[in-house]
Amino acid sequence: MLEIKDLHKQFGEQKILKGINLHVEQGERHAIIGPNGAGKSTLFNVITGKYAPTHGKVIYKGHDISGMHPHRITRRGLGRSFQIINVFGDMTVYQNIRSGVLARNGVFFNFTSYLDGMKAIEEESRRIIESISLSDQMDTPASEMAYGAQRALEIGLSLTTNPDLLLLDEPGAGTSKSETKHTVELIRKVTQNKTLIIVEHDMDVVFALADRISVLYYGEIILTDVPQKIKENKKVKEIYLGEATCE
């Protein structure tokens, strides 16, 4: 599904990604962990076309998408959410999702009539809202919802492009421990039959979801393995887990 080859990203003199190699299988749920500033969001920004790589390649479904315009990458089936909540606070859940469906897919639909088009967009919006379990808050302005619900809406927005590969950047950020179970269930549900790459700080979310985990440490992936092996790894404990779990 995704193959990253010797990927480098540099901002001015600052080398942020220093030769990333990563292989993600179709249907896999892959987590990327690592300390703050390690380059996780930058990696997402290069994969999704926000930034062109300084060197190296991003191969998606067998095609080289390195440096391609974000809209073209989205159209090929790669969707993402953002670390910072990106929803429109004044708009309701329905308005947010509908505008996402309209803006991102509208021009690609091939409708027999305008009314058919509007109906299809409405149905698709309702289907997405149902999948993120926000049907009962459909007419609530986003800013009036609990933070966890806003994060769910952010995930909903990333689904409006109907992605095959979904990149979620810290979907649990800012949510409370008690919401973790809900976050995990939601992500598992919306990524059925999809491939997922998730950056997440909450280790409970990571270990509950991931088939494999990669550890990004200052611009380099130092290890990729199954969760149990990551948990047991001495170096990982030293550089990351010890700090994150405050043991």
Ligand X SMILES: Nc1ncnc2c1ncn2[C@@H]1O[C@H](COP(=O)(O)OP(=O)(O)O)[C@@H](O)[C@H]1O
Interaction site with Mg ion (CB under 5 A): 40-41, 83
Least CB distance to Mg ion at residue 15 (A): 17
Give residue for tokens 């049907």: 135
Q: Using CA atoms, how far apart are residues 87 and 96, in angstroms rounded to an integer?
A: 7
Q: State which H helix or E strand residue 230 sits in.
A: helix 227-232
CA distance 213 to 197: 9
Residue 37 interacts with which of ligand X, Mg ion, none, CB < 5 to 8 Å by class = ligand X
Rounded to whole angstroms, the Cα distance separating 95 from 87 reads: 10
Query: For 34-129, where are the E strands, in sequence order?
Result: 55-60, 63-64, 78-80
41 binds ligand X (CB under 6 A): yes
Q: Which of 2, 24, 31, 38 binds ligand X (CB under 6 A)?
A: 38
Q: Output 43 or 97, the one with its CB closest to Mg ion.
A: 43
Residue 172 touches which of Mg ion, ligand X, none (Cβ within 5-8 Å per kind): none
**Cα distance between residue 170 and residue 151, in whole Å:** 10
Binding residue for ligand X, selected from 2, 22, 31, 39, defined by CB under 6 A: 39
Closest residue to Mg ion, based on beta-carbon distance: 41
Helix (H, G, I), strand (E, B) or coil at 30: strand
11 binds, among Mg ion, ligand X, none (CB under 5 to 8 A by kind): ligand X
Residues of this chain, 3-22, that bind ligand X according to CB under 6 A: 11, 16
Nearest distance from residue 39's CB to ligand X, in Å? 4
Beta carbons within 10 angstroms of residue 206's beta carbon: 22
92 binds, among Mg ion, ligand X, none (CB under 5 to 8 A by kind): none
9 binds, among Mg ion, ligand X, none (CB under 5 to 8 A by kind): none
* CA-to-CA dists, residue 214 to 17, 23, 163, 206, 226, angstroms: 14, 10, 22, 11, 9
Query: Virtual CA dihedral for 40, 41, 42, 47, nearest 10 degrees?
Result: 90
Interaction of residue 100 with ligand X, rule CB under 6 A: no
Of 25, 37, 109, 123, which lies in the binding site for ligand X, with binding defined by CB under 6 A? 37
Could you say which of 4, 22, 33, 42 contacts ligand X (CB under 6 A)?
42
Residues in contact with ligand X by the rule CB under 6 A: 11, 16, 34, 36-42
